[in-house]
Chains A and B, each alone.
Chain A
Amino acid sequence: MDASKFVIIDKSTLIDTEPVRQSLTYWQDAWRRLKKHKPAIAGLIGVIFIILFGFAGPLLSSVSYSDQDVDFANLPPVLNLYQMDEDIYVFLTNDYKLIQVSRSGMVLEKYKRIEQDPVNKIYTYANAARDIEVVLDFSYNLLPGKMDSPYDYTLTYNNSVVTESTRRVLNKKYPFGSDIVGRNLLIRVMYGARISLTVAFVASLVNLFIGVFYGSISAYEGGRTDIIMMRIVDLLNSIPLILYVILIMVVFGNRGLWTMIIALGSVYWVVMARLVRGQVLSLKEQEFVLAARALGVSRNKIIRNHLIPNAIGPIIVSMTMMIPSAVFTESFISFIGLGVSAPMASWGTLANDALSGLLSYPYQLFFPSLAIAVTMLSFNMLGDGLRDALDPRLRKG
């Protein structure tokens, strides 16, 4: 055979073409799979947004959560304005307050009621400088002889009569409206986010530590220790926890942020303890634990360095699910009036405050509820994605 028919191939090119898969660490792999899970990313963005909303939001505004202005109480987020003149717009509240608002929706000034005639239902208003006087007649559809009128009010200024509101603007000063004493609801919902999230995060962290500690000890020790420790957990689990949270709130007396954290943190750790115990029970029989034990590693170090890191996936998932349920519980307790005391407010307190004026001012309930729902939704979606990304049983290739 002719040797010239053969060509010697450079060996290095061959090796290069072989597909080499980049090796990924556990976290890189988890992140890669989390990125593929679209709802989880939406949830992550939602969580970041809520955190920024609560913690950075109030910094952008000079208004405090406790600043109140009774003149501007119960103003809705959308204002229906009556145009009195070229550049004079007024807003009429449900309780017959007349407020001057700029064309763009900035709340300017409450007019003073200078004359009132409750019998004929005619009020006269004037601004502070007394150069504008407006007469309100709200007798339509109320007094006999004036029924079946197409409108309820007439506003008279400089002999021109306005019966219809002609302009709808967004409230610039109070984007979420104002509450019953004229506090800015946007700022209050932001501060509410701070309180609700702080309570939820810290309580979940406390739960995490107690649960991991308790569960891992119980599972690692096994035998009688395990039985007794788990019986205690069973017992705690069969107690109406919400009642104990209320009891603890009463024991501590003052209704501060920390009371709430202690109450939630000291009660809800049993779920985590069970989860960790289950994980550790299956892990501790594996060879790497036996190897560590044979090398003389102490119990605490085995738990800390070998068992818990291997169970971290389910622990993180459970933690992500714990935060929204803590937000939920916190809002419930606040809603029944045992939450943080005024003027501080969490979302539950805000919802409770809105209850009395619900039929007239439904927006006061809407925004705190929306905040709770967005938080719950974000954390739940993130948790679902994390479960898929971190749970080793679901890992395939």
Chain B
Amino acid sequence: MGRYFFRRFLYSLLTIWLIASVTFFMMHAIPGGPFTREKAIPDEILRVIEAKYNLDAPLYEQYFDYLKGLVTFDLGPSFQKVGTSVNDLIVAGFPNTAKVGFFAILAIIVIGVPVGIVSALKQNKPLDYIVMFGATLGVTIPSFVIATVYIYIFAGKLGWVPPFGLRNAVSYIGPMIALSGYSLSFVARLTRSSMLEILRADYIQTARANGLSEYSVIAKHAVKNAVIPVITYLGPTIAAIMTGSFVVERIFAIPGIGRYFVESVTNRDYTTIMAVTVLYATIYVFMVLLVDIAYALVDPRIRFEKEKA
């Protein structure tokens, strides 16, 4: 068991390295650099700037410098925001993204899963139809529409919430709804369908035949198996939410890291792009690893197979 996860951990590190390399070379393959302007900068000045940021060095040298920086958690200076390092940008932005993301994920798990279970238990009853109607609506409306409509109604017309920023507790509600809307609906649907499948399984019938109470049949035996597909789905979703949906952050003017995704690519701000990509990849890869561990904890069959392998 321990060996398996150690191997998986090494594999995760390898993945992060590969992603960092691919992004590095892809970024440098794009024509134009961070100091390409519509109005050309005189050659001498450009050379001085490039020398300052070490951009005149051969590509492989830049690459090794960059890897060295990654290992020591020094992500270098931002090319566009003079005087700030990328570390500063991330340290300033990530807590905001993470705070909003945390509440969104909490909502997905705390609301999505129970709603799906209840809906499955009340299959083809009015409650089921209402829940499924809401969930279907949730996966059809893009988050930017939810966000703008929310601002239009609650900030614009009613004035109940501040239109932007994270000033008080109430201001978290909007970004939370917009960020979690799609995934919450998806999780509810997923839980419902997997729950329905499980409820038809033979072992549930056996549990009932053995005289277990309905509560313990559902809570102890059915739910545990029904959440397995939800765990699979949650891994990448948590990574995506934690690194910020730039659309939601843009609409609510949250100073998170989501906006760097777009800004840095269009500005050719190499160091920021790399940092954001690697950050996302790291969270993603370790979320997948966590999902694997969670799997093994929930499902002994998987644990057994992994010990064999």
The answer to whether A336 touches B246, judged by C-beta atoms less than 8 angstroms apart, is yes
Decide if B262 is an interface residue (CB 8 Å cutoff).
yes
Q: Do A240 and B243 form a contact, CB below 8 Å, given A235-B19, A246-B265, A372-B142?
A: yes
Decide if B285 is an interface residue (CB 8 Å cutoff).
yes
Decide if B151 is an interface residue (CB 8 Å cutoff).
yes
Interface residues of chain A: helix, strand, loop or mixed (majority): helix
List residues of B (102-151) whose CB comes within 8 Å of A's CBs.
Answer: 136-137, 139-142, 144-145, 148-149, 151
Instruction: For the complex formed, measure the closest distance between the CB of B42 and the CB atoms of chain A, giving whole angstroms.
Output: 25
Map CB proximity to A onto B247-272 as digits: 1 under 8 Å, 0 otherwise: 10011000000000110011000000
The answer to whether B281 touches A238, judged by C-beta atoms less than 8 angstroms apart, is yes
Decide if A3 is an interface residue (CB 8 Å cutoff).
no
Contacts of A377 in B (CB 8 A): 136-137, 140
Q: Do A359 and B156 form a contact, CB below 8 Å, given A238-B285, A240-B280?
A: yes
Contacts of B243 in A (CB 8 A): 240
Binding-face segment, B24-32, B167-175, B205-213: B24-32
Contacts of B29 in A (CB 8 A): 251
Taken together as a complex, chains A and B put the C-alpha atoms of A250 and B268 apart, in Å, by 9
Instruction: For the complex formed, measure the closest distance between the CB of A37 and the CB atoms of chain B, giving whole angstroms.
Output: 15
Taken together as a complex, chains A and B put the C-alpha atoms of A365 and B247 apart, in Å, by 15
Decide if B152 is an interface residue (CB 8 Å cutoff).
yes
Decide if A389 is an interface residue (CB 8 Å cutoff).
no
Instruction: For the complex formed, measure the closest distance between the CB of A326 and the CB atoms of chain B, giving whole angstroms.
Output: 13
The answer to whether A235 touches B247, judged by C-beta atoms less than 8 angstroms apart, is no
Taken together as a complex, chains A and B put the C-alpha atoms of A369 and B31 apart, in Å, by 35
The answer to whether A336 touches B142, judged by C-beta atoms less than 8 angstroms apart, is no
Contacts of B26 in A (CB 8 A): 247, 251
Instruction: For the complex formed, measure the closest distance between the CB of A49 and the CB atoms of chain B, giving whole angstroms.
Output: 15
The answer to whether A246 touches B15, judged by C-beta atoms less than 8 angstroms apart, is no
Instruction: For the complex formed, measure the closest distance between the CB of A335 and the CB atoms of chain B, giving whole angstroms.
Output: 5
Q: Do A358 and B156 form a contact, CB below 8 Å, given A336-B247, A372-B145, A380-B139?
A: yes
Decide if A119 is an interface residue (CB 8 Å cutoff).
no
The answer to whether A251 touches B30, judged by C-beta atoms less than 8 angstroms apart, is yes
Q: Do A235 and B266 form a contact, CB below 8 Å, given A332-B144, A376-B139?
A: no
Q: Do A369 and B141 form a contact, CB below 8 Å, given A238-B285, A240-B281, A380-B136?
A: yes
Taken together as a complex, chains A and B put the C-alpha atoms of A246 and B27 apart, in Å, by 11
Decide if A114 is an interface residue (CB 8 Å cutoff).
no
Decide if B79 is an interface residue (CB 8 Å cutoff).
no
Contacts of B277 in A (CB 8 A): 239-240, 243
Q: Do A246 and B261 form a contact, CB below 8 Å, given A336-B246, A369-B145?
A: yes
Taken together as a complex, chains A and B put the C-alpha atoms of A57 and B149 apart, in Å, by 28
The answer to whether B30 touches A358, judged by C-beta atoms less than 8 angstroms apart, is no
Decide if A59 is an interface residue (CB 8 Å cutoff).
no
Taken together as a complex, chains A and B put the C-alpha atoms of A328 and B18 apart, in Å, by 28
Contact of A328 among B31, B142, B152, B281 (CB under 8 A): B142
The answer to whether A335 touches B144, judged by C-beta atoms less than 8 angstroms apart, is yes
The answer to whether A373 touches B141, judged by C-beta atoms less than 8 angstroms apart, is yes
Decide if A317 is an interface residue (CB 8 Å cutoff).
no
Contacts of A239 in B (CB 8 A): 19, 22, 277, 281
Closest to A332 in B: B247
Taken together as a complex, chains A and B put the C-alpha atoms of A238 and B148 apart, in Å, by 30
CB contacts between A and B, total, < 8 Å: 97
Contact of A373 among B140, B156, B250 (CB under 8 A): B140
Map CB proximity to A onto B234-254 as digits: 1 under 8 Å, 0 otherwise: 000000100100110011000
Contact of A238 among B15, B141, B152, B261 (CB under 8 A): B15
Contacts of B145 in A (CB 8 A): 351, 365, 369, 372-373
Decide if B284 is an interface residue (CB 8 Å cutoff).
yes
Instruction: For the complex formed, measure the closest distance between the CB of A332 and the CB atoms of chain B, giving whole angstroms.
Output: 6
Decide if B288 is an interface residue (CB 8 Å cutoff).
yes
The answer to whether A338 touches B262, judged by C-beta atoms less than 8 angstroms apart, is yes
Contacts of B151 in A (CB 8 A): 358
Contacts of A242 in B (CB 8 A): 261
Decide if A52 is an interface residue (CB 8 Å cutoff).
no
Decide if A279 is an interface residue (CB 8 Å cutoff).
no
Decide if B276 is an interface residue (CB 8 Å cutoff).
yes
Closest to B250 in A: A336
Taken together as a complex, chains A and B put the C-alpha atoms of A242 and B240 apart, in Å, by 10
The answer to whether A235 touches B18, judged by C-beta atoms less than 8 angstroms apart, is yes
List residues of B (1-53) whose CB comes within 8 Å of A's CBs.
Answer: 15, 18-19, 22-23, 26-27, 29-31
Contacts of B156 in A (CB 8 A): 358-359
Q: Do A243 and B261 form a contact, CB below 8 Å, given A328-B142, A351-B145, A376-B139?
A: yes
The answer to whether A336 touches B262, judged by C-beta atoms less than 8 angstroms apart, is yes
Decide if A70 is an interface residue (CB 8 Å cutoff).
no
**Most chain B beta-carbon contacts within 10 A, residue among A235, A238, A331, A358:** A238
List residues of A (354-396) whose CB comes within 8 Å of B's CBs.
Answer: 355, 358-359, 362, 365, 369, 372-374, 376-377, 380-381
Taken together as a complex, chains A and B put the C-alpha atoms of A191 and B151 apart, in Å, by 28
Taken together as a complex, chains A and B put the C-alpha atoms of A18 and B11 apart, in Å, by 64
List 27 interface pairs A-B (beta carbons < 8 Å), by A numbering: A234-B15, A235-B18, A238-B19, A238-B285, A238-B288, A239-B19, A239-B22, A240-B240, A240-B243, A240-B277, A240-B280, A246-B262, A247-B23, A247-B27, A250-B30, A331-B142, A335-B142, A336-B247, A336-B250, A351-B144, A351-B145, A355-B251, A358-B151, A358-B152, A359-B156, A380-B136, A380-B140
